[in-house]
Structure 1
Amino acid sequence: MLGRYHFPSQRRGALRLLPTPEQASALEATLRACNRAAAYASQVAFAQELKDRNGWQEEVYADLKAMFGLSAQPAVRAVKKVVDAYATLRASLRAGNLGPPTSKRYRKAVGTPIGFRPEAAQPFDDRCLSWQYDARTVSIWTVTGRMRGIRFACSPDQLKTLVAHRKGESDLVCRDGKWFLIATCYLPDPDVYEPVDWIGIDRGIVNLATTSDGTNYQGRRLSRYRRWQARKRAELQARRTRSATRRLARRVRKEHRHATGVNHRISKEIVSVAQRTGRGIAVEALGGIRERVRPRCDQRGALSSWPFHQLGQHLAYKARKAGGPFLEVDAAYTSQRCPRCGHTERANRSDRDHFRCRRCGLAGPADVVAGVNVRNRARSAWVFVTAPAPSL
């Protein structure tokens, strides 16, 4: 992220498929067959404690072809899908994402084989999927044979990126009855320019982002929207019907899309300002903050739905795409430290909104002061990062 060289950046984009009813039926049957095969491979691996991919594939390859109607390459992809799922599970266990070994989530994860939903995404490589860019169609393997001429829709810019940079697997996804292909593209990142200064960003719940320039992106509208959605979800949960369950799932996805759109807008504006002024972007390193703090009962919902991590991800990849430097700095005491005299004391921040230094008297909005401290730490960190290595 801080280098001065071209590195390919993997980006995934969803393209809408427009299948006919016959084609959609074949795609649905294919997804279900592949996921049944993956679930079977998972059960065999769990029962026999298989970990080596080659041994795993040798054990179930013939069964996947005979029992589920998969051809050679889709069977290999199904095994690879299961291998990746177990690798992800082991990584989550090591990172502590499922709690300690004594927790219920941890014991359930290691005590049962990984399952796959009937319509879970399925990866296809270039042996199973081919693209006809001029006609805007794809040809894809299905359990009923090769299905040709499935149309897809995308913008001219997406098509240009797809033709020039698509590489590797593409995932077939069915979401709310709509079909998508999620294609993987490797785009070279531009050189990172030398920043003339930095924009420090303080992330919060009431104010989603506050920059060292004093720009404030409030989160009140998003908070009101989340509370309204929570009330509607409670009403649907109380009904306990299959229709209510389906509507509940749609509401959850709609709320997630809304929050993602807000983060996209905020990050786009910040990166645009940074690029126009030749500055870099710096944020606080907030990893693990949910485990470090102990909120009150009435604050737990707001903290658990706080989209700070996604906002940081959007800022990072948009800055990288624009060639701008991006840094994460230590978050300790950024809201309690005076940026002028350096005095750090909890009493400097009398309440959530106001900061007043007890030593020199500097006063201002607390979030802006925190953003200034983030900016100052980025200045020091960048000097250290870009300093030449000592000669031996």
Structure 2
Amino acid sequence: MEKTMEVHVPLLNSQTFTIRDTQVADLSALVALEQRCFATDRLSKRSFSYWIKAKHRVFMVVQQDDQIIGYGLVIMRKGTRLARLYSIAIDKNIEGKGIGRQLMLALETQTVAAGKLFLRLEVEKTNKRAIGLYESMGYKIFGDYAHYYENNGDAFRMQKPIRQAAKHNQLPSYPWYAQTTDFTCGPAALMMAMASLSEQTVMEQPLEFDLWREATTIFMMAGHGGCHPLGLALAAEKRGFKVKVYINQPLPLFTSGVRQPVKKHTVEVIEQQFESRAQQQNIPVLYADFDLNALKDALESGSKVLSLISTYQMDGYKVPHWVAITAIDEECLYLHDPSVPEQHAAGFDCQHIPVALDDFIKLSSYGKTKLCTALVISKANFKE
């Protein structure tokens, strides 16, 4: 994916270190370096082999003569402007010579070339040397992760806007919840929004399932399996929140993939029931586009926003998926994704994910009909 890069770094003692892209031939040396550098949380030979061949990563090594004395691995999240420093190691006998800084700069350069704006990392709270290096390079602590390491150590979460044009804004405090099934992204996103508005909302599986039962249109394995915007709106209104719904097309929304006429009719009836109940509860339903200006106005007013996106830009699958939008600035919006995408990702990789504004326009359009729908949620006594 990335362009080939090689950097020659001269040191005061006239030794020269080369920073270059990883090659398949480096595998054994990487495993040996990992054994020398870490007692726990080691990457396995299988992991190294996977990442050497993988796409959507930046993987560089530090070489002195014929020996690999350091490496850095950055992994990308498709469809977003976010990258994560997954692992970095420098041989202990060359620590303090500036190689770590040079390696980080090379990784950042390659990550920017791959189109990413932000680089995140985690570092053990007791690792003062590494924390000092990252802070000196512009990384800022934005959270922590308890018991992150195998030794039960805690980690700081740090982030840097690695492209000069990107601005680091303080991201808001916003609770995050991981959906516990493949089909409860809507309830998980709704719980995050409700919990950010009210401390009385307890984000746990029983509520997740209750919300799904109230909001889904699925019928005997027909339908898309997830939750309807009007169903989620009714579930939020039932719990004392004020909701406004944006849908850019008339109902029905989720029947194109239902082939059997009886099942299709049933799903259509469920959607009609949602629409009728929304009218009875005086829930505003605007059959119009929810554009970036409306999104910005909603967030600035203190409301919370849920948006239905297509996961195609992220994972190649055209699946409707609910997320909570947490913030917006001049270049990006930020979202909480209730789904942890892969085994190599951590929960905080799914929090405040930066998405370029232009990219979000594509992301928030689902299916052949280009469905765009969003919920604006606020406290019941909130005045617009």
TM class, shorter-length: under 0.3
TM-score with structure 1 setting the length: 0.21
Q: Which structure: greater helix fraction?
A: 1
With a CA cutoff of 8 Å and minimum separation of 6, indicate the structure with the bigger relative contact order.
1
* Bigger CA radius of gyration: 1
